[in-house]
Amino acid sequence: MNEKIALITGANSGMGLATTIEIANTGATVIMLCRNKQRGETALKTAKQQSGSENIELMICDLGSLESIRTFVSLFKEKYNKLDILINNAGVMSLKRELTSDGFEMQLGINHLGHFLLTNLLLEHLKNAKEARIINVSSGAHKIGKIDLQDPFLTKRYGLMKGYAQSKLANILFTKELSKKLKNTNITVNALHPGAVATNIGVNRKTGFGKNLIKLLKPFFLSPEEGASTAVYLATSDEVKDTTGEYFYKKKIALVSKIAEDNELSKTLWTWSEKQVFLTPKSDAKL
């Protein structure tokens, strides 16, 4: 792993930070992708202390902003000529309907569309690696999810779990479709359910609302380290180096909902997503 470069989104806390530390422990160079510079710098210090590695770098990107994602990718490409591991870990839950800077419903905008654009823009660098892996952190909540492309941003009837489950289902459909598009390449793509983990995912990004609830629930949930174990396994284990298009739970392939297996839906979602993030053949590297 010494020559490998890993990029982890949402790396400043919870599973993202735990994943950073574990991957850094393997000797890989790790880029922590964080939205907030101050929190990111604190997490970077923690990661270096706990891993004993100096090969960890902080880079800033807001997955709720298409402009921020494009700016980050440009900076990343100036500095690195390849990417071996991409862990799309960042996620949000929103009690009330909120919008990203581009007008997307927050959960679908960050959990799916932000990672969709980021991944596509980094494909060229992933192909430059000898063997590359993309890991998408989804959730068992996908099983109650539906994709409503008539009202994807839930303008008519919003619900926290409705929006969250939709975004996590989108993660799996994206994984399935991308694995097909990358067939016969050096890149594998897999999704996972980390289990019920006590993280800051439900804490409001602006106000911090929800922190006290997380503290109360912590004793009943997995630790971030336990939650990160499957992502680390998918990123580093030789056992899964040729596995692609699957959904994992506790380091084993797990069943997904019937909707998550819908090939036509995955194609439709892909086309819709391309339009939303303005992914065009002229300006971006295509599959």
Q: Determine, yes or no, domain membership for 284.
A: no
Residue (of 90, 192, 88) closest to 141 by Cα position: 192
pLDDT tens, N- to C-terminus, the chain (287 residues): 779 999 999 999 989 999 999 999 999 999 999 999 999 999 999 999 999 999 999 999 999 999 999 999 999 999 999 999 999 999 999 889 999 999 999 999 999 999 999 999 999 999 999 999 999 999 999 999 999 999 999 999 999 999 999 999 999 999 999 999 999 999 999 999 997 655 454 444 454 544 554 454 444 456 667 778 999 999 999 999 999 999 999 999 999 999 999 999 999 999 999 999 999 765 555 55
Q: What is the pTM of this model?
A: 0.91
Structural domain including 133 reads 5-276
Is residue 156 situated within a structural domain?
Answer: yes
Question: Within a 10 A sphere around the Cβ of 151, how many other Cβ atoms?
Answer: 11
Supply 169's token pair. 């289902």
Q: What is the pLDDT of residue 228?
A: 87
By C-alpha distance, which of 235, 245, 251 is closest to 24? 235
**Contact 176/266 with Cβ under 8 angstroms?**
yes
Q: Give how many domains the chain has, as a whole number.
A: 1
Please indicate, yes or no, if residue 74 is contained in any of the structural domains.
yes
- The answer to whether residue 283 sits within a structural domain is no
Q: Is residue 286 part of a domain?
A: no
Buried b or exposed e, range 169-198, using 16+ CB within 10 angstroms: bbbbbbbbbbbbebeeeebbbbbbbbbebb
Q: Is 233 a catalytic residue?
A: no
In this prediction, residue 2 carries a pLDDT of 75
Q: What tokens appear for 196 in the block? A: 């019920």
Decide: helix, strand or coil at residue 147: coil
- pLDDT score for 14: 87
For residue 212, the domain's CATH number is 3.40.50.720
Residue 35 forms part of a structural domain: yes
Torsional sign, CA 266, 270, 272, 273: positive
Contact 208, 151 (CB under 8 A): no
Annotated active-site residue in 80, 158, 164, 233: 164
